[in-house]
């Protein structure tokens, strides 16, 4: 099984900004969310690996989780957040309305200098398949971001990447995917998540 964990809160998340490849640290709330997830994942299936996006907010979340289960943290670039390009750290209200409509309608659309949902879907599907194989009867904890986790769910459900716009995924949440692939849970919230 894979437990996909969305990283904890950053100041940009709290402000409602698009947060792609910008690399802020967690807030105190974010660290608390990571600790709650670590405690929740310390019970249940035996963790065999903690894998994370290379971005600081994910690495910090993974490191806190790993203290609860005594595993080293590994990095996998395929778990990195979507590249919002020129829109990184902007609010949705700052994105031109016509571009936002096109983005929601066309999974191959990419923000200027950024990455499309279709590209995120392709790299995440490959990563998820490998992590499921690696998990065996245990648990791989994969710390990532909103877009790759939604893409993993779309892969498991065998839907297109455009379904991402119809899912809400909270900071510090857990989404579980098992062999099949099958979605076991989505957006589980531990204490401190929002």
Could you tell me where the beta strands, DSSP code E, fall in the chain?
2-6, 47-52, 73-75, 139-144, 173-178, 182-189
CATH number of the domain encompassing residue 11: 3.40.50.1240
Who's near 122: CB < 8 A, 6+ residues apart? none
Q: Give the chain's domain count.
A: 1
- pTM as predicted: 0.95
Q: How far apart are CA 151 and CA 78, in angstroms?
A: 11
Tokens of 163: 């379904």
Specify burial of residue 178 (Cβ count, 10 A radius: 0-12, 13-18, 19+): middle
Q: Let me know if residue 194 belongs to a domain.
A: no
β pairing state of 73-75 and 47-52? parallel
Would residue 7 show up in a list of annotated catalytic residues for this protein?
A: yes
Q: Which of 7, 68, 121, 145 is catalytic?
A: 7
Q: How far apart are CA 182 and CA 176, in angstroms?
A: 9
What is residue 137's three-state secondary structure? coil
The pLDDT value given to residue 190: 74
The pLDDT value given to residue 193: 47
The pLDDT value given to residue 191: 56
Q: Which of 9, 60, 81, 115 is catalytic?
A: 81
Q: What is the mean pLDDT of each run of 10 residues along the chain (194 residues)?
A: 98 95 97 96 93 98 96 97 96 93 95 97 98 96 98 97 95 97 94 50
DSSP lists the bridge partners of residue 157 as none
Full domain range(s) for residue 7: 2-189
Would residue 130 show up in a list of annotated catalytic residues for this protein?
A: no
């Amino acid at each position: 099984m894979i437990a996909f964990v969305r990283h904890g809160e950053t100041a940009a998340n709290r402000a409602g900004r698009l947060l792609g490849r910008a690399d802020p640290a967690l807030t105190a709330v974010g660290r608390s969310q990571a600790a709650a997830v670590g405690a929740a994942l310390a019970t249940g299936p035996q963790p065999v690996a903690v894998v994370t996006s290379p971005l600081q907010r994910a690495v910090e979340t993974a490191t806190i989780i790993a203290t609860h289960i005594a595993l080293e943290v590994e990095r996998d670039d395929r778990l990195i957040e979507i590249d919002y390009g020129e829109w990184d750290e902007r609010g949705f209200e700052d994105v031109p309305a016509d571009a936002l409509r096109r983005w929601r309608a066309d999974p191959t659309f990419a923000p200027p200098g950024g990455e499309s949902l279709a590209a995120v879907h392709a790299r995440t599907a490959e990563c998820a398949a490998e992590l499921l194989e690696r998990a065996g009867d245990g648990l791989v904890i994969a710390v990532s971001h909103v877009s790759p986790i939604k893409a993993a769910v779309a892969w498991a459900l065998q839907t297109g990447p455009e379904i991402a716009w119809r899912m809400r995924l909270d900071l510090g949440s857990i989404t579980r995917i098992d062999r099949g692939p099958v979605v076991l849970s989505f957006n589980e919230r531990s204490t401190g998540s929002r």
